Amino acid sequence: MKLMGVVNVTPDSFSDGGLYLDPSAAVAHGRELEAAGAAILDVGGESTRPGAEPVSEAEELARVRPVIAGLAGGTAAVSIDTSKAAVAAAAIAAGATIVNDVTALRGDQEMAALCAERGVTVVLMHMLGEPRTMQASPSYDDVVADVKSFLAERLEAALAAGVEEERVWLDPGIGFGKTAAHNLELLRRLGELRELGRPLVIGTSRKSFIGRLDGSEASERLGGTIASSVLAAAEGAAVLRVHDVAEVSQALAVTTAVLG
């Protein structure tokens, strides 16, 4: 089980927007997450929260490049959370070894070839629609079956572009074009996605499905983040993408100590 700590270098991320916009603050935050047990630091310069407006390539690059350069070379691997090939290329040049693409290589035609050529690990995530509109009225025949067949198709597309299978991780995209019921169903039936045979990345951290259950704001969702992360780990998730690395790490340590 690996923890992927979130380092958002954005003014508008849903739970921590604006906190780490200054590169030195973002690097310091990343180092804290690393010390708290993050095996991966996921650096993002564009919010994908519901309704978020896209950011220009130049702006996204200016945000993430100094942070990646500052974090590379530590004990944690650095991941770039982007759907733009030019941003991914610059991030890889600065030391990133994982590309976390919430569009699963559909957002930029150059992305698949770039990842294949550079030999990086690629996270392929499911999203219905795009961030601006994805929460309008998401609907599925069977959310788990639909997400599973999408991920199988995107895995095939990555392999066809020359990405090595052992470098692909898959993510059902909790909160990306899903109702709270869809998210809960995906978490409950994670085992079905494990059948795809690739490591699963799960990001429930501070997301609004938790708030739908109890009315909590993003800053008040640590309990729900821990519960959903521990359950995802028990269901076989390989990577948990979280903001609160120290707290989730402790919860996982206790879970492992009890269950073995």
Q: What positions carry a catalytic annotation?
A: 207, 241
Residue 64, CB half-sphere, CA atoms under 13 Å: how many? 35
Q: Which is nearer to ligand HH2, 229 or 249 (CB)?
A: 229
**Which one among 34, 60, 108, 171 touches ligand HH2, defined by CB under 6 A?**
171
Q: Is residue 225 a contact point for ligand HH2 (CB under 6 A)?
A: no
- Given the complex with ligand HH2, which of 20 and 249 has the nearer CB atom? 20
Burial of 197 (0-12, 13-18, 19+ CB in 10 A): exposed
- Pick 48 or 228: Cβ nearer ligand HH2: 48
User: Counting contacts by CB under 6 A, is residue 47 touching ligand HH2?
Assistant: yes
Is 125 a binding residue for ligand HH2 by CB under 6 A? The answer is yes
Instruction: Please provide residue 158's backbone torsions phi and psi, each rounded to the nearest 5 degrees.
Output: -65, -45
Residue in 100, 103, 121, 183 binding ligand HH2, rule: CB under 6 A: 100
**Count of beta carbons in the 10 Å neighbourhood of residue 193:** 23
Evaluate whether 67 touches 32 at the Cβ level (below 8 Å). Answer: no
Can residue 126 be called a binding residue for ligand HH2 (CB under 6 A)?
A: no
Q: Is 208 a binder of ligand HH2 (CB under 6 A)?
A: no
Residues in a beta bridge with 204: none
Can you tell me whether residue 153 is helix, strand or coil?
helix
Site for ligand HH2 in 172-201 (CB under 6 A): 173-174, 201
Contact (Cβ atoms closer than 8 angstroms) between residue 227 and residue 254: no
* Among 177, 164, 232, residue whose Cα is nearest residue 202: 232
Per CB under 6 A, does 6 bind ligand HH2? yes
Q: Report the distance separating Cα 160 and Cα 153, nearest Å.
A: 10
Instruction: Choose, by CB under 6 A, the member of 9, 10, 45, 232 that binds ligand HH2.
Output: 10
Under the criterion CB under 6 A, does residue 20 sit at the interface with ligand HH2? no
User: Which single residue brings its beta carbon nearest to ligand HH2?
Assistant: 203
Q: In a 3-state reduction of DSSP, which class is residue 26? A: helix
Candidate residues 30, 70, 199, 203; the one interacting with ligand HH2 per rule CB under 6 A = 203
Applying CB under 6 A, which of residues 13, 82, 103, 249 lies at the interface with ligand HH2? 13
Nearer to ligand HH2, 70 or 175 (CB): 175
Burial class (CB in 10 A: 0-12, 13-18, 19+), 87: buried
One-letter amino acid for residue 140 of the chain: Y
Binding residues (CB under 6 A) for ligand HH2: these are 6, 8, 10, 13-15, 44, 47-49, 81, 100, 102, 123, 125, 171, 173-174, 201, 203, 241
